[in-house]
């Protein structure tokens, strides 16, 4: 007869002294805390604009100056083209790429420590290639990553889940379709057991919640058709990435489409509130500051036929159509807003499409300071350790001291163009240019 294994509950043994019990409990707490600290200490940058999708990094002591030869840990050539940002979990850095023609869509994994490419494989080879905008690529949406899996998205060409260690395909979907017209751009969002996918084109505008383990659809919601009936087809598309905010204990998924910004229940896809404004595309994602939701609307045409967008601040505690009741303030801005602002300590830092950098008080919409820059800015700014990092398509990174005083502290330059948003994690900045992935860190 097999002997049952001995089971010992150390904290219930009568022979144990009180001191021994306290000592053991203390050691257990140290072990648990050490395990949690170890889990938190390895590199993590899991989505577009970080693990919280807010463009804020908790890293300390990152470089504020560099060049092609200074503070560069490694530089890895990335074949093909792609504006997707790197996502990081542990020692794995994942990004997507594509041929200029769009006939090969790739998944690439780079070792965080060495810069060596560990996975480089073709995920999709489309039978038919659709047009895109000249400044877009066929690999623009940013992936999402967690402990064991990485999720990659190429718009209408396909969405896939891979084993993040080996690159093996777990599942894939190619049936979610829309007419992007100018290529895809919406990045992925992981929420609990769901992968949120936006597919908003000129023909259909659907948001999907997929089972992240199987790829099956949990829910699907379509933008309200009555908001789009009056619009030209070309204006109905959108390229935004949603944001999760918690309002009075309930999670809301904020998603600003071309005709309206809508808050959905991410568990069910049910609409909570909407702010109606816009007649053409949205790209910049929403941000949150001290309970206020801020976002750029779609295009608006004034009485003189001039187009503009507005930066709106909204109180998200309403229900239904809150357009006339919960908008706190608004600022006119040039059309084609591509980058997403970053909000820190009640200040919003943004660059509009005329290259005007502004610091705005999120409580009242007052511009604290502004500076006219040169060049174009598609990469979204990131905050880290008291500094704002802003990247231009010319390969420049301007570093500003965060705060109510305009203070530029450095100007840096890398080979190539910067269109994607860098990752700030693991004591390093990962910057993707049009040809390379750079790891920037202090020696």
What confidence score (pLDDT) does residue 24 get?
38
Unique residue bearing structure tokens 């041929």: 99
What confidence score (pLDDT) does residue 4 get?
34
| Sheet order of strands, 387-391 included | 56-57, 382-384, 387-391, 396-401, 408-413
Percent of the chain with pLDDT over 90: 88
Q: Is 421 helix (H, G, I), strand (E, B) or coil?
A: coil
What confidence score (pLDDT) does residue 431 get?
98
Residue 3 vs residue 139, higher pLDDT: 139
Rounded to 5 degrees, φ, ψ at 294 are: -125, 140
Does the structure show a pLDDT above 90 at 31?
A: no
What confidence score (pLDDT) does residue 21 get?
46
Does the structure show a pLDDT above 90 at 33?
A: no
Please name the helix (run of DSSP H) or strand (run of DSSP E) that holds residue 33, with its range, or none: helix 18-41
Rounded to 5 degrees, φ, ψ at 23 are: -60, -45
Give CA–CA dist 91/441, Å, rounded: 15
What confidence score (pLDDT) does residue 62 get?
97
Contacts 24+ apart (CB under 8 A), 297-304: 297/256, 297/261, 298/235, 298/238, 298/256, 298/257, 298/258, 298/259, 299/235, 299/258, 299/335
Tell me the pLDDT band of 398, cut-offs 50, 70 and 90: very high
Structure tokens at 373: 């820059």
Unique residue bearing structure tokens 């140290």: 30
- Phi-psi region for residue 102, left (φ > 0), alpha (ψ -120 to 50) or beta? left
Does the structure show a pLDDT above 50 at 388?
A: yes
Does the structure show a pLDDT above 70 at 158?
A: yes
Give CA–CA dist 345/112, Å, rounded: 31
Average pLDDT of the segment spanning 411-422: 96
Tell me the pLDDT band of 16, cut-offs 50, 70 and 90: very low
pLDDT in tens, 266-280: 999 999 999 999 999
Give CA–CA dist 150/79, Å, rounded: 20
Ordered structural domains, the chain, with CATH: 43-440 (2.130.10.10)
Q: What is the pTM of this model?
A: 0.89
Q: Is 299 helix (H, G, I), strand (E, B) or coil?
A: coil
Give CA–CA dist 283/349, Å, rounded: 17
Unique residue bearing structure tokens 């010992």: 8
Does the structure show a pLDDT above 90 at 39?
A: no
What confidence score (pLDDT) does residue 42 get?
87
Contact 338, 355 (CB under 8 A): no
Contact 309, 292 (CB under 8 A): no
Window from 4-13, 290-299, 363-372 with minimum mean pLDDT: 4-13
Instruction: Please enumerate in sequence order all residues whose Cβ is within 8 A of that of 299, keeping only pairs 6 or more positions apart, or say none.
Output: 235, 258, 278, 279, 280, 281, 307, 308, 309, 335
**Average pLDDT value over all residues in the chain:** 91
What confidence score (pLDDT) does residue 247 get?
97
What confidence score (pLDDT) does residue 303 get?
86
């Amino acid at each position: 007869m097999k002997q049952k294994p001995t089971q010992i509950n150390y904290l219930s043994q009568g022979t144990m002294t009180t001191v021994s019990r306290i000592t053991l409990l203390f050691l257990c707490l140290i072990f648990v805390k050490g395990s949690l600290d170890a889990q938190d200490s390895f590199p993590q940058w899991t989505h577009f604009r970080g693990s919280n999708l807010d463009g804020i990094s908790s890293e300390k002591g990152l470089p504020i100056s560099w060049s092609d030869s200074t503070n560069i840990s490694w530089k890895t050539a990335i074949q093909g083209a792609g504006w997707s940002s790197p996502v990081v979990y542990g020692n794995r850095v994942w990004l997507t790429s594509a041929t200029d023609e769009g006939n090969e869509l790739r998944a690439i994994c780079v070792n965080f420590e060495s810069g060596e490419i560990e996975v480089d494989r073709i995920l999709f080879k489309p039978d038919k290639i659709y047009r895109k905008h000249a400044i877009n690529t066929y690999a623009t949406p940013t992936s999402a990553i967690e402990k064991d899996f990485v999720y990659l998205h190429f718009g209408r060409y396909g969405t896939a889940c891979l084993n993040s260690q080996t690159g093996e395909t777990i599942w894939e979907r190619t049936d979610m379709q829309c007419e992007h017209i100018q290529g895809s751009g919406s990045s992925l969002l992981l929420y609990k057991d769901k992968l949120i996918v936006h597919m908003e084109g000129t023909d259909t505008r659907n948001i999907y919640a997929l089972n992240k383990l199987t790829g099956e659809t949990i829910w699907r919601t379509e933008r309200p058709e009555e908001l789009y009936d009056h619009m030209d087809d070309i204006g109905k598309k959108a390229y935004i990435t949603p944001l999760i905010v918690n309002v009075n204990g309930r999670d809301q998924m904020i998603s600003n489409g071309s005709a309206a910004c809508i808050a959905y229940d991410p568990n069910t896809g049910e609409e909570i509130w909407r702010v109606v404004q816009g007649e053409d595309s949205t790209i910049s994602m929403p941000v949150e500051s001290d309970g206020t939701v801020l976002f750029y609307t779609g295009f608006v045409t004034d009485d003189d036929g001039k187009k503009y967008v507005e930066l709106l601040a909204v109180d998200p505690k309403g229900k239904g159509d809150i357009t006339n009741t919960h908008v706190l303030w608004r600022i006119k801005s040039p059309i084609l807003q591509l980058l997403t602002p970053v909000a820190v300590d009640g200040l919003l830092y943004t660059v509009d499409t005329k290259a005007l950098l502004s610091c705005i008080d999120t409580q009242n919409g007052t511009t604290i300071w502004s500076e006219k820059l040169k060049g174009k800015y598609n990469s979204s700014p990131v905050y880290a350790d008291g500094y704002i990092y802003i990247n231009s398509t010319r390969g420049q990174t301007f570093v500003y001291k965060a705060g109510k005083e305009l203070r530029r502290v450095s100007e840096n330059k890398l080979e190539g163009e910067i269109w994607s948003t860098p990752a700030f994690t693991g004591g390093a900045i990962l910057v993707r240019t049009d040809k390379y992935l750079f790891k920037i860190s202090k020696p």
